[in-house]
Chain A
Amino acid sequence: MSVMSLIDFPSVVLHKVLNELDLFSILTLRKVSHGLRSFIDESTQSNFPPKIRLELNEEFILLELDTKTIQYEKHQCQVVWKKDSEDWSRGKSKMFEEENFEELFLKDFAIILKLNNSREIECFELEIQDIDSKIDIISSEFKAKEVILKVSEPDQVLKYLPFFDAGILEKLVLIEAVMQEEEDEEKDKERFDLSRISKLPQFKQAKNIEVQGLNVPPKIENFLHFSTVKVYFESVPYQEVFLLKEKFATSSTLTRFEIFFDYITDDEQLDVVLGESFKELDDGLHGQERWFFGISNCPEIVELVITTMGSIAYSRVNRDSVPGGANGCWVTWSKADVPSEQFQIVSDKNVMECCLEDLQLVMKHHRTGVLQSVWFQNSEGSERSDCMEKLVASNAILHAKKVSFYRYSLKNMLKCLPSLDADTLENISVLGKSKSSGTNEAAWNKLVKLEQWKKAESADFTQAGFTPQIQDLLHFSKT
């Protein structure tokens, strides 16, 4: 019986064996026999490494594949290779004195690409340290989901990015290449012009982008079509930060936009254009400011975080994750006769701002300019008075004939009354006990001195938690 050999097997067996092997073993197998070589070249390898890293230097070319690193050196055209985990001293080497290291690399790389058979890989990283490198790595479109280009000039991006299939590319990372000779020079970085790069389909179609270390112009418009953006701007004009707020809220693609910066020009203007940042006591977050902005017709909220470490991050957050009292609120309304039919909008103002603005609108456009009645109701158990303080501080004047306080303490009534127009107010009524009931003499004394109290014609006290003093009620026509 003849001796059986691997090549005599049905292709399903060979495939299965090949699928268990790493790329390097397969490359070795190609050298074993003609039969195996043609079989391997015709079959599709499922175990092509997910990541390829390539470094082009004047003196050498470095290729990282799988767990192996191969270096093609210019000097004597030496090829050195080792496993990832090993030190170079344990690697192997071979000299090809008659050869050119770049050509040698290209031959090997062509075989590797042939094995890839134009299937998708996860990541291709290319670092170009040799500005004049003549290497044209790929002849046709290469399918990689993520492309990392370490470059120093836009021309390099223009040269290599078109090799990658724009339809497959999801994430583009542009990083400044480490150039040895420049390390000790602290010269100003040249502007990294994106205008031509941004016209490439790879740039237009990618979903995510990261730019690190390159001095790109601080213009957000280049990045508005992405889904996530991480970009470094040396200086950011505050106008761009504000513009981004508008663009971010209306964008259908952007989910996160991070800017790392050295400084923001005219950063004191930020509070003016963005409004006051949200402050929460003891939130444990130091060195950062937060803003929340509502988006019209959208349940999500835009969150902006600016840190003192030099980062600006816009993101979309769920309404629920916005801390209470932060900017942005829901406004719900219904008609008195159809309470079940509710309407809702999201406002980008906080509760109080929103309420005051509406109140002022109501007063401005009211038919007679004077309301029949204003009802102040204290929610169950709530003793927060900052709303009223803001109401008074806002100088909004409510013109009404009657004011009712429900479950209000004297102290809080004292805060509200000055917001009512003393000239129109006729009746003051107090209903229900407040939690902090009891007669607060100081508050009472202040209350009765208010013009609103003096000018009103009548007062009602129903189950109020305090006893009014008779002498202060004598001026009313009806009590």
Chain B
Amino acid sequence: MSCEEPTTSPTPENNITVVSSDGKEFLLDLKLTEQSETLARLISNFEYDRTDVKKDPVPLGNITSAQMQKIIEWLQHHRYYPKWEQNDIHYSTSFTFETWVEEYLNIPNNEMFELLNAANYLNIPRLFSTICRIMASRITGKSAEQIRTVLNIKTDVKNDVYTGIPIQEDSSSSEDGMSEISLSPSPPPI
């Protein structure tokens, strides 16, 4: 198991302790923290990679222990992956994922959004980018109505929730937005 219960023994040299918002402590291998730009910078600033420096637990105020657990699972899986490279200009979106990733992200939307937020906060580019792609893959090919469900958007555009007034359209020809072409690209009936 990637995460360990807090121990009372002295902190090993190559670990740091992070504390989730609900007060739970996690011992993190320094090697794993390399994937998080936020943690890596913190460790380098405080010189936590040195054996003679006293390491204080790092509070992660907006990450719950459940999210932390999930994130450590990700870090552990990608421990030996090459460093994440920024997309080059020829980057084109691909909606195919490793089986492991698909299973890992086979979670309710709520959890996914929270995980995305955590990945953004900890600056784990590979995780952040993967979740964005997964979300994009869930939006692509859906109608506006289906997207509202996917994105947890409860309000409807047809009548503004606050005013009750129908929303002004760009194109008078359709009930919402463009001439529906909008091309609502849901797959045609087979």
Q: Which of A13-43 contact B (CB under 8 A)?
A: 13, 16-17, 19-22, 24-25, 27-34, 36-37
Give complex CA distance A37, B153 in Å: 13
The reply to whether the CB of A81 lies closer than 8 angstroms to some CB of chain B is yes
A5 and B113 form a contact (CB under 8 A): yes
Interface segment, one of B7-15, B73-81, B130-138 = B130-138
A19 to B87, CA, bound (A): 11
A328 to B124, CA, bound (A): 63
Give chain A residues whose Cβ lies under 8 Å from the Cβ of B113: 4-6, 8-9
Query: If A34-B167, A108-B171 touch, does A27 touch B183 (CB 8 Å cutoff)?
Result: yes
With contacts A32-B157, A111-B171 taken as known, whether A27 is within 8 angstroms of B182 at the C-beta atoms is yes
Q: Are A31 and B117 in contact, with the CB atoms below 8 A?
A: no
* Stretch in A92-100, A197-205, A310-318, A368-376 touching the partner: A92-100
The answer to whether the Cβ of A474 comes within 8 Å of any Cβ in the partner chain is: no
Please choose the segment from A83-91, A186-194, A300-308 that sits at the chain B interface, where 4 or more of its residues have CB less than 8 A away. Answer: A83-91
Contacting residue for B153 out of A7, A30, A104, CB 8 A? A7
The answer to whether A32 and B135 have CB atoms under 8 Å apart is no
The reply to whether A34 and B117 form a contact with Cβ atoms under 8 Å apart is: no
The reply to whether the CB of B152 lies closer than 8 angstroms to some CB of chain A is yes
Is A16 within 8 A of B157, CB to CB?
A: no
B185 in contact (CB, < 8 A): yes
Which of B28-36, B45-53, B96-104, B139-147 contacts its partner? B139-147
- Whether, in the assembled complex, A403 has its beta carbon less than 8 Å from a beta carbon of chain B, the answer is no
With A4-B114, A31-B182 as contacts: A91 and B188 at CB distance below 8 Å: yes
A29 to B160, CA, bound (A): 16
**Contact flags B146-190 to A (C-beta < 8 A → 1, else 0):** 011001111101001000000100111110111111111100100
CB of A12 within 8 A of CB of B120, answer: yes
A7-B153, A9-B113, A16-B132 known; A21-B140 Cβ under 8 A:
yes
A82 to B133 Cα, complex, angstroms: 24
The CA-CA distance from A42 to B134 in the complex, in Å, is 24
Q: Are B173 and A104 in contact (CB under 8 A)?
A: yes
CA separation between A25 and B113, bound complex, in Å? 19
Q: Mark A343-369, 1 if CB is under 8 A from B, else 0.
A: 000000000000000000000000000
Q: Determine which residue in B140, B141, B153, B183 has the highest number of CB atoms from chain A within 10 A of its CB, and name it.
A: B183
Contact A94 B180 (CB under 8 A): yes
Residue from the list A21, A32, A94 in contact with B179, Cβ < 8 A: A94
Q: A3-B110, A12-B120, A28-B143 are in contact. Are A107 and B181 (CB under 8 A)?
A: no
C-alpha gap A28/B160 in the complex (Å):
18
Q: A412 to chain B: closest CB distance in Å?
A: 62
Q: How many of B's residues come within 8 Å of A, CB to CB?
A: 46
Is B188 a contact of A22 with CB atoms below 8 Å? no
B152 close to A6 (CB less than 8 A): yes
B106 at interface by CB-CB < 8 Å:
no
Quick one: which of B114, B136, B171, B180 contacts A17, CB cutoff 8 A? B136
Q: For the complex, what is the distance from the CA of A370 to the CA of B23, rounded to whole Å?
A: 111
Contact partners of A259 in chain B: CB under 8 A: none
Q: Is B93 an interface residue (CB 8 A)?
A: yes
B182 in contact with A34 (CB, 8 Å): no
- Which residue of the partner chain, among A25, A83, A86, A108, contacts B181 with CB atoms under 8 Å? A108
A68 touches B178 (CB 8 A): no
Task: Tell me, in angstroms, the Cα distance from A86 to B190 when the chains sit together.
Answer: 12
B121 to chain A minimum Cβ distance, whole angstroms, is: 9
Name the residue in A3, A28, A33, A81 with the highest tally of chain B Cβ atoms < 10 Å from its Cβ.
A28
B89–chain A nearest beta-carbon distance, Å = 10
A108 proximity list for chain B (CB < 8 A) = 171, 178-179, 181
Beta-carbon contact of B177 and A30 below 8 Å: yes
Least CB distance from B94 to A in Å reads 9
- Choose among A9, A20, A36 the residue that contacts B136 (Cβ–Cβ < 8 A): A20
* Residue among A92, A94, A111 making CB contact with B170, cutoff 8 Å: A111
Point out the residue from B128, B147, B155, B171 that lies within 8 Å of A28, measured CB to CB.
Answer: B147
Q: List 20 A-B contacts (CB under 8 A).
A: A4-B114, A4-B117, A16-B129, A24-B183, A25-B139, A25-B185, A27-B183, A29-B144, A31-B176, A32-B147, A33-B148, A70-B183, A79-B179, A86-B188, A90-B188, A94-B179, A96-B179, A107-B172, A107-B173, A108-B181
**Top 5 A-B residue pairs of the complex, sorted by shortest distance between their CB atoms:** A20-B136, A31-B177, A31-B144, A5-B152, A107-B171
